[in-house]
Copies of this chain bind each other. A is one copy, B any other.
Amino acid sequence: MKTFIGVDLGGTNVRAAVVREDGVIQCMKKSRSCPERGAESVMETMISLIESLEGYEDCEGIGMGIPGPIDTIGGKIIVSTNLPKLIGFPIAEYIEKHFQKPAYMDNDVKVAALGEAVLGAGKGYPIVYYVTISTGIGGALVIDQKVVSGQNGHAGEIGNICIDRNRKKYNILNAGAVENEASGTALTRKGKEILGEHISNAGDVFEMARGGDEKAIKLVDDMAYDMAMMLCAVGHIVDPHVFVVGGGVMKGKDVFFEKMERFYRTMIHDGMQSVVFKEALLEEPGIVGAAMLPMTKGRKLC
C-alpha cells in the first residue's frame, strides 16, 4: 500500500507522520517548531523529524498543513501570525529538493477538509463543504477531491460572512460576521453576558442548555440559526452534496447540530434538500489531510 508523509506545522510544534493511502497513520513524531529561529532552521527541524520516521524513504510525496492563507501554487505562506519569518519562503520547493519527492502545502483548514473529503465523512461525495466551528469559523470547498483555494488562498474565510447586518462590530471582521456570533468564542462571550460570569467556554453554555436552562437554550438556538444563515449562502453558491462539520464546538453537537440543519432546510430551495449533514470523522484530520495533498496530486483546482 502506498504511503505519504503528512506534516502539521504550527507556531509551537511541528508533527509529521507516515500515512497510508487508506488513512492509517503508521508512525507519528513531534518536535518544537521554534519559528523565531527563522525559515531555514524550521526547515531543518522538519527534515530531521521526517527522517526520523520509519519508512519515510518509501513515501510517494510530502504534504504540509500550515495555518493562515497559503500560496498553494508557489508553495509559500502568504500571511501568518505564528510563523512570520516563514512568510514568502519557498517551503514546498525546499522540501521537494531535499527529498526529491513531490511536496505540497495548504492551509490547515483546507487540509483537514481534504482529509475528510477523501477518507472521512465526505468520502464518496463529489462536492464536499467542510466547516470547522472552533475559536473561529472556517471552511473549505472540495470538488472532486481538490480543494478550491481561491485567488489569494482566502476561499473558505467564511467566518467573515455577515449573517445579520444589525449586530455590533467587535473587531476587524464585518459587523454581524458569523465568527463573532456563532463561534466558540462568540458563544462564550454571549454566555458571560446572558448567563453570568461563571461561563468560561462554549461547553458551559451547552451544559446549561442540556440542563434545560431557557436562556442557554435560546443562545444555542440563535447560534444554530446564525450558522444556518451562513451555510445558506454556501448552499446557494455551491449546492454541495454534503456539509461536513468539525471543530471543538462539535462537542455540543447533541444540543445544536440538528437545530442548525433544520433551520438550514427552511432557508434553501426544495430542490436542494438532498444535501446531507455529517460530523467530521478523522481523529487527525490535519496530518491525514496533509498526506492526502500528494495523493490527490496536490495541485488544487485554483
Please determine whether A174 and B232 come into contact, CB atoms closer than 8 angstroms.
yes
Known contacts A143-B301, A237-B141, A301-B143; A152/B272 CB under 8 A: yes
Contact of A152 among B150, B237, B239 (CB under 8 A): B239
Segment touching B, from A48-56, A95-103, A159-167, A280-288: A159-167
- 12 contacting pairs across A/B (C-beta < 8 A): A139-B237, A144-B301, A149-B239, A151-B239, A151-B241, A151-B272, A154-B235, A154-B272, A156-B239, A160-B268, A161-B233, A162-B232
- Report if A157 contacts B (CB, 8 A): yes
Total count of chain A residues near the partner, CB < 8 A? 50
Chain B residues within an 8 Å CB radius of A152? 239, 271-272, 274
* A206-246 Cβ-contact flags toward B at 8 Å (1 or 0): 00000000000000000000000110111111111100000
**Taking A155-B239, A157-B269, A160-B269 as contacts, is the C-beta distance between A150 and B165 under 8 angstroms?**
no
Instruction: Select A233's contact among B166, B237, B271, B274, beta carbons within 8 Å.
Output: B237
Task: Tell me if A236 and B157 are in contact (CB < 8 A).
Answer: yes
In whole Å, how far is A186's beta carbon from the nearest beta carbon of chain B? 17
Could you tell me the distance between the alpha carbons of A103 and B240 in the complex, rounded to whole angstroms? Answer: 25
Docked CA distance A229–B99 (Å): 46
Chain B: minimal CB distance from A88 (Å): 13
This chain: copies in complex: 2
Interface residues of A (CB under 8 A from B): 69, 78-79, 126-127, 139, 141, 143-144, 148-166, 174, 229-230, 232-241, 267-269, 271-272, 274-275, 301-302
| A238 CA to B144 CA, complexed, in Å | 16
What 4 A-B pairs have minimum CB-CB distances, sorted nearest first? A150-B239, A233-B233, A155-B239, A154-B239
The residues of B that contact A143 with a CB separation of less than 8 Å are 143, 148, 301-302
Q: Which partner residue on chain B sits nearest A68 by CB separation?
A: B271
> Please, which residue of chain B has its CB at the minimum distance from the CB of A129?
B237
User: When chains A and B are docked, how far (Å) is the Cα of A127 from the Cα of B300?
Assistant: 12
Q: How far is the CB of A298 from chain B (nearest CB, A)?
A: 15
- Please tell me which one of the listed residues B127, B151, B237 contacts residue A151 in the complex, with CB atoms under 8 A apart: B127
Given the contacts A154-B269, A155-B239, A268-B160, A229 and B165 also touching, CB distance less than 8 Å: yes
A235 contacts across to B, CB distance below 8 A: 154
- Bound together, the chains give a CA A267 to CA B229 distance in angstroms of 17
Whether A158 contacts B237 by the Cβ 8 Å rule is yes
Which of chain B's residues have a CB closer than 8 A to the CB of A150?
Answer: 127, 238-240, 272
Tell me, rounded to whole Å, the shortest Cβ–Cβ distance linking A111 to chain B.
Answer: 17
CB-CB < 8 A to A233: which residues of B?
161-162, 230, 233-234, 237
Asked if B78 and A271 sit within 8 Å, CB to CB, the answer is: yes
Chain B residues, Cβ within 8 Å of A79: 271
